[in-house]
Amino acid sequence: MAKKAKATKPATKTPQAKPEAPRGAKTAAIKAALKANPKKTAREIAELVKEQGFETSANYVATIKTKMKGKKKAKAAPAPTPQAAAPALPKDAISLAWLEKAKVLAKQLGGVKEAKQAIDALAHLMD
């Protein structure tokens, strides 16, 4: 049995590929165009970006625009603080921290009776 000759492809020149833009360049161009022209539609922005040399669609521009809006909303809403969630206390309520400070003061002054006299004298001076 005779061997078949291998079929060779004719030598063709490969066209010179233009250098590709760095990753994320098209998205950056779309974001810049959106910031510069916030009132334009996605189709108009896509045309602006095409003039810069990036092939894109209006749908892709709309997707980028939506993602940019979502990030703004997330940053605008601060997380609730634990103090805001706490129930309102009556004006005459004393916290544990205040009681601990009063205990230290009473110990420094020699007892509760002496601490009370010092506080009364202070109140008299402040009036």
pLDDT tens column, 65-84? 888 887 555 555 666 666 65
8 Å CB contact between 115 and 106? yes
Tokens of 80: 């609730």
8 Å CB contact between 48 and 30? no
Residue type, 46: A
Per-residue pLDDT of the chain (127 residues; tens, 9 = 90+): 667 766 666 555 544 444 567 888 899 999 999 999 888 999 999 999 999 888 999 999 999 988 888 755 555 566 666 665 566 767 777 888 888 988 998 999 999 999 999 989 988 888 7
pLDDT, mean over the chain: 80
Say what the pLDDT of residue 111 is: 92
Least Cα distance to 46 among 72, 37, 126, 94 occurs for 37
Structural domain boundaries of the chain?
25-76, 94-126
